[in-house]
Each structure stands twice: as structure tokens, then as C-alpha cells.
Structure 1
Amino acid sequence: MFRDFSAQALFMGLLTAFVGFASSFAVVLHGLIGVGATEAQAASGLMALSVSMGLCAIMLSVATRLPVSIAWSTPGAALLATSGAIEGGFATAVGGFIICALLIVIAGLWKPLGRMVAAIPATLANAMLAGVLIGLCFAPVKAIAFDPLLGLPIVLAWAIVGSINRLYAVPAALVAFIAVLAFGVDIPDGALSGLAASLLPKPELVAPSFTMAGLIGIALPLFIVTMASQNIPGIAVLKVNGYEPKPGPLFAVTGAFSLLSAPFGGHAVNLAAITAAMCAGSDAHPDPAKRYWAAINAGVFYVIFGLAAGAVTAFVALAPPILIQAVAGLALISAFAASALNAFREPEGREAAAVTFLVTASGVSFLGISGAFWGLLAGGLMLGLAHLMARRRR
């Protein structure tokens, strides 16, 4: 195994971990705080997720000799950000995380459930995801309106660097955010000493609360977007690069690591989709049989980044919230564009997709259940009604 190690795979692993962490940790923090987490609980959740996905990537890549990249559920974090505070607070959200993790394990071990998830129309799943993401994608514009001197440099860095290389667009926005925070925001006295004190990892256990609102409003939508937007595309990326993974065991293991991170505030870990292409492609190593080391190295660096999550969270907290939301929104623009395109690509079912998108994007919740679930339900009813009327016409 160690004969397959290479400097090229080491560099690609570091780049994968940096891009994966830097491009979406803001979304994760915003999502956890959105469902009631304190700053300390959000830092604990970020740490638990990063460490879990690092260890999961190492274990799966060693066991399968495949470049199995693991990520946290960025669409899931965006879903949490738009769900808002849930009745029962963060404890109820954690209960939803645990149920979601169990569902992912079952989907991997019990084929009928996996087939049910795969049977959800792609148009509706993408429309729900687009509805979840659009609210955060407004944040960069709102940041500029809040203070052009603070918001504009972040957006310009993303746009200019992204026009050269899309891979570095969000890291560039993050660098601009750090510069704006350092030179444009008045940092209170003593804040930096507090930042130094937060360098040591501080995991926080959260006693879960299991309620119907947590099941329907958190667990089910989180499960659907994680499976449809991350796990299934993650398998597709591996297959495109010439690998033949067994999906069930991979899903089950990611669910198990999600279950381990949930009591510490982590919402879900899953197969990576975007960064998976970095470890599975030829840039990781000319020999496909040796690319698994890139995923192993990425896992090691994810663990290192996770242990520094407390400092990252404390640093982010020094800035106006709209600025970190802007970074999160920029990180999700490409995902929003892809999901919207896939939702409305086919004329058949376009109205059902529109209903799903609009209900989800409205942010309205009923009975304590977020709009994402109701959007998927409304779109499904519209699609079913359209099929029924089409059969009657025949």
C-alpha cells in the first residue's frame, strides 16, 4: 500500500481538503446556527463533521483501494439555514440529525429504501434543492447593500478569480473576507486573545430530542437532499472515472459516521460530489489504481482542519453575519444554477418542479415543518395529478 504513495497524491489531497473545507464551512456554520446552535455548538458540529468525514474517507479508501472522497452535506446545511429555528431548539435538530443518519444506514443496507430514494423524480429533487439554495444566494447582493466597502471586495474576488479558475473562486472570496475583517471591521479589544484560547478543540455533546417536527422538518428533507444531491452523484463521479464501487456499503458507512458526529452537532457526512472528481481524476495520479492515496491524504487534512474548527468559528464571529453569509452564498451559486437547470430542463413536469421550487423558496413552514418538505409534497401531488389526467385522456 505505501508503495502507491506519491507527492502528487499528497498535494491533491491537501488541495481537495482545502477547497472542500474553505468553500463551504461558512454554509455549515450558518446552517447550524440557523436551527438554534450556539457559537460553541456550531464549532463543535463543524469539528465533528470535519473529523468524521476525514476518518471516513481514510477508512473507505484503505478498505476499497478506491479514491472515495467524503464531504459534509452542503445542501443539507443550506436546508438548515433556510429552515429557521425549530420548536424544541437545537436539541430537536440533533434528534433529526440522528434519524437522518439512521435512514442513510438503512438505505445502504436495505435495498428497497435505496431504490425509493432513487425513484424520487430528479426534477423535483433538484427543484427542492434550488428552492433551498436561492435564499442564501441572495446574500452577496445583500452584503453589498449592507456596506459596499465590505461586501464588494468579497464578490469581486470571487468573480475575478473565478473567471480565471473556478476551483479557486470561493477560496479567493474567503481570502477577501479575511482581509476585509482584518482591515475593515473594528475588532473589540480582547477578541484576539479569545481567538487564541479557542485553538484547542472543544466538543460539546447535545442531548437529542425526538419530535415529529424534527422528523418531518429536519430528518426527512435532510435525508433526501443528502442522498439525491451528494451520495448518488458521488457514485456517478466514481463511475465516470472508471471505478465500479458498491453503493450500498459506502452509503451505510457514511451514515454510521453521520451517526457518530450527530450528538456533537454534526448534521450529515456523505460521499463527495464536486471534490470527488479531484481525487478520482488524472491530476491525482496517472495510474488510476494509485489515486486512492489522494482521498486518504484529503481525509488526514480534513481531520487537521476539523481540530481547528473552534478558532475558525471564533474568527468568523468577529465579522457582521451578512459577510459570512455572502461567502456561503457565493459558494452555492454554481450548485443553484445546476439544480435549477436540471429542475426545469424537461418540459414534462416543469409546472410540478415550479411548484416545488416556489413552495420551498417561500420559506413558509406549516405545523413547525419547513417548506422543503411541503415543496416536495406539493410538487409530487402536481406530478401525480398530471400523470392521472394524461392517462384519462388516453
Structure 2
Amino acid sequence: MPRWDTAQPALAGVVSAVVGYASSFAVVLAGLRAVGANPAQAASGLLVLCTGIAVLAVGLSLRYRMPISIAWSTPGAALLVATGANAGGFPAAVGAFLVCGALIVLAGLVPWLARAIDAIPRPIAGAMLAGVILSLCAAPVRAVIDVPELAIPVVLTWALLMRFARRWAVPGALAAAVVAIAVSGVDGGLSQASLRPAPVFTMPEFTVTALISLALPLFLVTMAAQNVPGMAVMATYGYPVPLRAVLVTSGAATMVAAPFGGHALNLAAITAALTAGPDTHPDPARRWTATVALGLGQLTLGLGAGLATALVLLSPPVLVIAVAGLALIPALGSSLASAVTEPEGREAAVVTFVVTASGMTVLGVGSAFWGLVAGGLTALLLHRRRLPAPVAPAGPVTAGVTGRGD
């Protein structure tokens, strides 16, 4: 029985690592490439992110005996795709990653900053995230039109697995993409590619436009779409996560990973649901071993970063983005729901969504920042101070009639 008690959460952790990696590594690589990384720099970024996840997940879980799952910021990677290259190229993006990590550390050290992020209206935060990932989620449609022989099997595989084995939908779509690429006869790339993962150092540069259009939105998206939901998921299963320790360590790890291409590390949300729930182990006190296994699994998968990058480079770009878009469709649905569910603030959320999804660039600053600005100004403009209920004029008291307060 003790062996099974150990094996059950360990297996859950390994499965979570495989699902988490396969579901979104294409988004990470696409994001790094979009902001100017070459193949070696993109593979380096994937490697250091996996290493950071392993170190944090194992260290925090052993320290606090909780299933504290760590992940890279998938919404942050989608933001990189939407933002694109800045004037300073990849070094400017690395500088933005470094600043994002510093802001996460600051949020852990200064409690009011974390509370301020949490105070961003949910409709506006959800609308910004939805606007960021909308173009990615439309990529499967473009792929079906541009490369139907490759994209249709991928989309059908994803749809069938969403119906019968939801957890494996995106990994299955990725496997279908690999098979489609192999059948199509694309060759030569793997033999010429460097499959050995190696960290590549990039000297960071700091530009005003990159800080405003990339560092600040990346910080906000990572906090609002990853750390806050991650806390909520853990609280659902009864785990009081040490937020300060998580923010300081994940921010510091982001700063260490940034010069090697890592964009952001944070609390996991979806993976947390896989490792912290009762399916992992009946005893909540034993579930922390699942995140130790998750960390070790991520480290192992990170050693294949060179191969993963080479496979992505072999694929038509639209197909890679299509797989990433399929992975983000559930996130788009939940973001849109949080944006428009509450009538109050709906107009501000719609303005945020429209401006962010437009992809506009003003003064070198991307649309995610302007979406937040436009949504915030709209919320202030349409805000109506609630007036107290009118009080009925005093009059003769009628027998048997009492006020509403009785």
C-alpha cells in the first residue's frame, strides 16, 4: 500500500507535466520567435523555463508540503505573439522579461501591489486576455484554409478528443500535426538542426517602448491570468498557499531565466487542478509528491527543447500557430465569460477587448497596454455613484403598516 500511495500521486504529476508541456510549448516557442528570438534562443528559453518549473515546484512542495504547481505563463506567451518584435529586437524583449520578474518580486514584497493587481475589475482583465489570444484562436481557421491537408486532421483529432478525452485534446492535436508533417514529406530539417539543448545568454537591453508594451502587460497578464486563478484553485482544495514566498521565488526565477530567454514563471492554474485534487490522492497531505514528480517530469521534457524547436521549425508557421490556438480556446471562452457575465462594467470590458484585439500600435506601444487604458477610462467615464434609496416623506402612521426595516 505505501508503494501505491507514492506511485499514485507520482503518476498524476508525470501526466500533468506531459499534458502541460505538450499543450502549450508551441505557444511559448511561437511567442519567443515573434519577439525576435532565433531558433537557438527559443530552444534556450524553453529549456530554462522547464528548469525553473522543476526547481520551484520541487523546492516549494518540499518546503511547504503542499502540491504547489508552477508553470510558464501561457497567456504571457500569447501576449508575445500578439505584441511582436520591438525596435530593440530580442535583447529588448529580454529586458522586458527581466523587468517583469522584478515586478513579480515586488508584488510579493509589497502586499498592496498584489492587492492592486487583484483589484483590477475582472471584466477588464478577462477582456484584455481575450483580446490578446483572439488572433491565436482564429489561427486554426486560417490553417484549414491555407494548408487543409495538414490542418484538417489536426482539428478533427482535437475535436474528437475534446469530446471523449478532454485532457489529451491538445497533446493529441500536436501528435496529429507531427504525423501530418512526416506524411507530407518534409525532411532534412532534423538532420541539420541542433537537437542538444543549450542555454544561450542574451544581454538585455531596456527601452521605454518594450517596458510599456511588453514588460507591464506581461506582468499584469501573468498576475491576473495565472497567479490569482492559481491561488483560487489551491484554495478550492483547501491549501493556503504562501503567496509571498511563491511570488518572490517565481519572480526571482524569472529574472534568472530572462537572459536565457525565459519570459515568466508563475503559479499554475490548470495543472494545479490536476495535481491538487482528490484524484491525485485521497489524503490531501500526500498530494505534494505529485508536484515533485511534475517538476522532475518538466526537467526531463526540457532536455528535449532542441528537438521540440526543430519540429516546430519544420512545420508551416500557420500550423504551429493553429495548434497553439487550439490550446487557448478554453482560455478564450473563460475570458470572454468573465468579461461579459456581469452587466456592470460590460461596456468597459468590450472596449478593452476591441482595442486589445485590434493589434494597434501607437508610439511603439502594443495594443494590450492601450486596451487596459481604454477600458479603464471607459469604466471611469461610465461609473455612476450609487445614490441612497429615496426616503418616503413623513406622514401619519397607519395602524398595522410598518416600514421595510421591520
TM-score if structure 1 supplies the norm length? Answer: 0.96
2:146 match: 146
Tell me if the contact between 1:108 and 1:248 (Cα under 8 Å) persists in the aligned partners. yes
1:119 match: 119
1:312 match: 308
2:362 match: 366
Q: Deviations over 1:105-130 (max 9, x none)?
A: 01011101111111111110000000
Q: Which has the larger radius of gyration?
A: 2
2:323 match: 327
| Aligned counterparts of 2:63 and 2:5: Cα–Cα separation in 1 | 15
Q: Is 1:231 the counterpart of 2:231 in the alignment?
A: no
Equivalences for residues 153-302 of structure 1 within 5 A: 153-188=153-188, 191-195=189-193, 198-302=194-298
Q: Is 1:347 the counterpart of 2:343 in the alignment?
A: yes
| Aligned counterparts of 1:328 and 1:350: Cα–Cα separation in 2 | 28
Q: For residue 71 of structure 1, give the secondary structure of its aligned residue in structure 2.
A: strand
Q: What is the Cα deviation at residue 214 of structure 1?
A: 1.4
| Aligned counterparts of 2:186 and 2:49: Cα–Cα separation in 1 | 31
Tell me if the contact between 2:154 and 2:173 (Cα under 8 Å) persists in the aligned partners. yes
Matched letter for residue 356 of structure 2? T
| Aligned counterparts of 2:142 and 2:40: Cα–Cα separation in 1 | 26
Matched letter for residue 234 of structure 2? L
Of the structure 1 ranges 232-241 and 5-14, higher mean CA displacement relative to structure 2 is found in: 5-14
Tell me if the contact between 1:185 and 1:319 (Cα under 8 Å) persists in the aligned partners. no
Q: For residue 270 of structure 2, give the secondary structure of its aligned residue in structure 1.
A: coil
Matched letter for residue 233 of structure 2? V
| Aligned counterparts of 2:65 and 2:195: Cα–Cα separation in 1 | 34
Matched letter for residue 191 of structure 2? S
Q: What is the Cα deviation at residue 344 of structure 1?
A: 0.6
Matched letter for residue 355 of structure 2? V
> Where does structure 1 lack aligned partners over 5 or more consecutive residues?
none
| Aligned counterparts of 2:236 and 2:185: Cα–Cα separation in 1 | 45
Q: What is the Cα deviation at residue 210 of structure 1?
A: 0.7
RMSD between superposed Cα atoms in Å: 1.5
Q: Deviations over 1:240-293 (max 9, x none)?
A: 011112212111111111111101011001000001011101121111100000
| Aligned counterparts of 2:303 and 2:227: Cα–Cα separation in 1 | 25
1:129 match: 129
Matched letter for residue 229 of structure 1? A
Tell me if the contact between 2:68 and 2:291 (Cα under 8 Å) persists in the aligned partners. yes
Q: Deviations over 1:159-194 (max 9, x none)?
A: 001101211110110110111011124223xx2323
| Aligned counterparts of 1:319 and 1:79: Cα–Cα separation in 2 | 21
Q: What is the Cα deviation at residue 373 of structure 1?
A: 0.4
| Aligned counterparts of 2:256 and 2:277: Cα–Cα separation in 1 | 30
Tell me if the contact between 1:5 and 1:293 (Cα under 8 Å) persists in the aligned partners. no
| Aligned counterparts of 2:277 and 2:350: Cα–Cα separation in 1 | 35
2:375 match: 379
| Aligned counterparts of 1:254 and 1:202: Cα–Cα separation in 2 | 22
Which structure has more helix as a fraction of its residues?
1
| Aligned counterparts of 2:186 and 2:62: Cα–Cα separation in 1 | 47
Matched letter for residue 312 of structure 1? A
| Aligned counterparts of 1:242 and 1:100: Cα–Cα separation in 2 | 29
| Aligned counterparts of 2:49 and 2:4: Cα–Cα separation in 1 | 28
| Aligned counterparts of 1:155 and 1:342: Cα–Cα separation in 2 | 26
Q: For residue 186 of structure 2, give the secondary structure of its aligned residue in structure 1.
A: coil
TM-score if structure 2 supplies the norm length? Answer: 0.93
Q: What is the Cα deviation at residue 310 of structure 1?
A: 0.9
Number of equivalenced pairs: 387
